[in-house]
Structure 1
Amino acid sequence: MTAPVRRRNRKRDQWIAFWTVPVFFNLFGIVFVPLSWMMPPRPANSSTPQVVEFMQSHNLLIACAILTLSFGLAPLSNSVYLIQVKRMSVSPVFRYSIMIGSMTGAIVGMLFPMFCFGLGSFRAGYDPSILQLLYDFGYLAYIGSLGCFCVMWMAFGLAIILDQNNILPKWLGYYTVWQYVTELMAAPVWISKSGPFAWNGVMTFWFAMVLYVSWQIIVYVCIYRAIKNQPDDELDNARLHDDAPLVGAKA
């Protein structure tokens, strides 16, 4: 009698990467909101005493330490998307655009703000003008560098639209393109210091954030379904020898 074959979960690696996404975004949210209050953005026209008080906060150092430890989870979240794009019937240029865009965006949109805000609170007694410079640099890098993300997710949306394998729903592609066209509204932060197009403005930050958060949740659900429906024979690590008896099994 042949021993029953134990089927291995060939998607375990994908699921591990997939479940790091909510872990990363929750840590990211904790660091930027309740711990440091870097977000929502403080006004671009804050007074010098307000800037100094914020930049010399000890919580900024704790926030930067946590972000340093969790930063490595970001590539895992991007790899989840790239695996599904690889399955699509589109040119590899889309996959490479997403990959390079995510790398560029992480440097400018995460590392630069972290170093600016962390450096401001690292040593007490910095000149107020230096703290103002770091304050402006940190927020402009975080909110004013959305061009790389726009190109990155535009490639993601176009890949979905052009794909003939229907890995992800077409409506998600159109939604993605529309969502990231609206991110172009971040450009005026380099000009406006107050009003709806300042870095803390209704249009530049709040409107874009509402669209982004809802879009991110929807993409996450669609990626979950794509991984769940992916056939084992499409997996790079597939070794379909399920008909072979396990080592040590007795007939």
Structure 2
Amino acid sequence: MTPRRKNRKLDQWITFWSVPFFFNVFGLVFVPLSWMMPPRSPSASTAQIVAFMQSHNLLVACVLLTLTFGLAPVSNAVYLMQIKRMSVSPAFRYTLMMGAISGAVVGMLFPMFCFGLGAFRPGYSPAVLAMLYDFGYLAFIGSLGCFCVMWMAFGLAILLDKNNVLPKWLGYYTVWQYMTELMAAPVWINKSGPFAWNGLMTFWFTVVLYVSWQLVVYTCIYRSIKRQPATELDNADLYTATGDSSIGVTA
């Protein structure tokens, strides 16, 4: 019997290409729909906060994010599949998985619900709206711990891996990149200047580093998936059992 699915890496390619789709939706929600990003000033006036928090666009953005939120774990599976191939403890994979779960909650759901509440409940007092405004931005930009730990685990897994699944320089790059995330810690203290949540160092500098790092990571992961031997695939036995002898690197 000939198997129906010839592309043994279809599951990996689905998770891989879900990443740009998800981040495009994520960008659509946080920029043109809601204008939450770039971050508004933490020292904005009460009138400015109320006008922003009661925008109907926030409700539309909240609905769209709620519908596509499930793509977050799919996109994180890209990293987990690569770590699974490495000669390291499963603890690295579990650390990244749990960090991704907690990061999605505090860095995505909390901000969206905080901002969406302003439009959903127009009767809230300005003081309540100001609290939700602060809560939303501090959760989005100030939730450092889960992200630093999960990406530190990813970088260390690359460095300790003896199978050379991903290049060693990417491990050093990843560790360095997420050490710079610690610069966002002062957002809990500063309401103006380069270390406020909309500041040059805590937002703009780290965003440039993060985006460039993500592009490099996914280029390396793309090449790693292409190079992966069919004997490493979880569904390799199915094809071997059915008489398919084309064992090797498949696209």
Q: TM class by shorter-chain length?
A: over 0.9
In the TM superposition, what are the counterparts of 1:168-179 in structure 2 within 5 Å?
A: 168-179=166-177
Runs of 4+ in 1 over 3 A off after TM superposition: 3-7
Residue aligning to 1:248: none
- Structure 2: gaps of 5 or more residues: 246-251
Equivalent residues of 1:146, 1:186 under 8 A apart: yes
Deviation at 1:4, TM superposition (A): 9.6
Identity %: 74
In the TM superposition, what are the counterparts of 1:87-236 in structure 2 within 5 Å?
A: 87-236=85-234
- TM-score after normalising by structure 1: 0.94
Q: CA RMSD in A?
A: 1.7
Equivalent residues of 1:7, 1:242 under 8 A apart: no
In the alignment, residue 195 of structure 1 is paired with which amino acid?
A: G
Residue aligning to 2:249: none
Q: Distance in 2 between matches of 1:107 and 1:124?
A: 25
Deviation at 1:148, TM superposition (A): 0.7
**Which of 6, 11, 14 pairs up with 1:13?**
11
Deviation at 1:243, TM superposition (A): 2.8
Q: Once the two structures are superposed, what CA deviation does each residue of 1:67-106 show, in whole Å capped at 9, x if it has no partner?
A: 0011100001101110000000111111111001000100
- Structure 1: gaps of 5 or more residues: 246-251
Q: Once the two structures are superposed, what CA deviation does each residue of 1:128-174 show, in whole Å capped at 9, x if it has no partner?
A: 00000000000000000021100000000000011110000111100
Q: 1:69 to 1:7 in 2, by over 3 A?
A: closer
State whether structure 2 residue 63 is matched by structure 1 residue 46. Answer: no
Q: 1:242 to 1:126 in 2, by over 3 A?
A: same
**Which of 24, 27, 35 pairs up with 1:26?**
24
Secondary structure of the 1:186 match is: helix
In the alignment, residue 209 of structure 1 is paired with which amino acid?
A: V
In the alignment, residue 60 of structure 1 is paired with which amino acid?
A: L
- TM-score after normalising by structure 2: 0.94
Q: Distance in 2 between matches of 1:165 and 1:22?
A: 27
Higher relative contact order structure (alpha carbons within 8 Å, sequence separation ≥ 6): 1
Q: Distance in 1 between matches of 2:128 and 2:143?
A: 21
Equivalent residues of 1:5, 1:243 under 8 A apart: no
Aligned length: 243
